[in-house]
Amino acid sequence: MKVELVVTRDSSSCRKAESLWRSICEQKNLTFKILEDDGPEGRDVLARLELRALPAVLLDGRLVAVGVQTEEQAFDLLRRAGNLDP
């Protein structure tokens, strides 16, 4: 599973989300990628999904959440996506 996090620079919320998702992806051996809103990939995702708020979490290219999740919420998103056992 590929986890992508769309972020904006200088956002404490985005930094918090990045820290959480990076840690979870390292624990679970998942691919993790940061997409900055001012980079080409980030701009493409923002336009394609019509995102107006960040951070945004994509699992295998599908938008699953916007905002900062708790660790429990993040694991729940992964479980629902079929990546973790219940």
pLDDT (tens digit per residue) in 23-34: 999 999 999 999
What confidence score (pLDDT) does residue 85 get?
Answer: 59
Q: Please indicate, yes or no, if residue 19 is contained in any of the structural domains.
A: yes
pTM: 0.92
- Name the residue range of residue 56's domain: 2-80
Mean pLDDT, consecutive 10-residue segments, the chain of 86 residues?
A: 95 98 96 97 96 96 97 96 68
Q: Please indicate, yes or no, if residue 15 is contained in any of the structural domains.
A: yes
Number of structural domains in the chain:
1
Q: Please indicate, yes or no, if residue 33 is contained in any of the structural domains.
A: yes
Q: What is the Cα–Cα distance from 78 to 86, expressed in whole angstroms?
A: 10
CATH number assigned to the domain comprising residue 32: 3.40.30.10
What confidence score (pLDDT) does residue 84 get?
Answer: 65
Q: Please indicate, yes or no, if residue 16 is contained in any of the structural domains.
A: yes
What confidence score (pLDDT) does residue 82 get?
Answer: 84
Planar angle of CA 83, 28, 33, nearest 5 degrees: 90
Q: What dihedral angle (degrees, nearest 10) is formed by the CA atoms of 14, 18, 24, 27?
A: -170
